[in-house]
Amino acid sequence: MYENGKGVKRDQSKALEWYRKAAAEGDEDARKNLARLGVSDQ
């Protein structure tokens, strides 16, 4: 949503924040998105 600006203003830092939260809860898609963006889920 934030990464692509769907329904909200595009905000890369907000997207990363939510991907990290989801990855911390075990969301595999969030981990894949972080990896795709070259960011650690730690």
Check whether 14 has a pLDDT greater than 90: yes
Instruction: Give the pLDDT confidence score for residue 18 in this predicted structure.
Output: 93
Q: If you average pLDDT over every residue of the chain, what do you get?
A: 89
HSE toward the beta carbon, residue 19, CA cutoff 13 A: 23
Cβ contacts of 19-27, under 8 Å, gap ≥ 24: none
Instruction: Give the pLDDT confidence score for residue 20 in this predicted structure.
Output: 95
Global confidence as pTM: 0.80
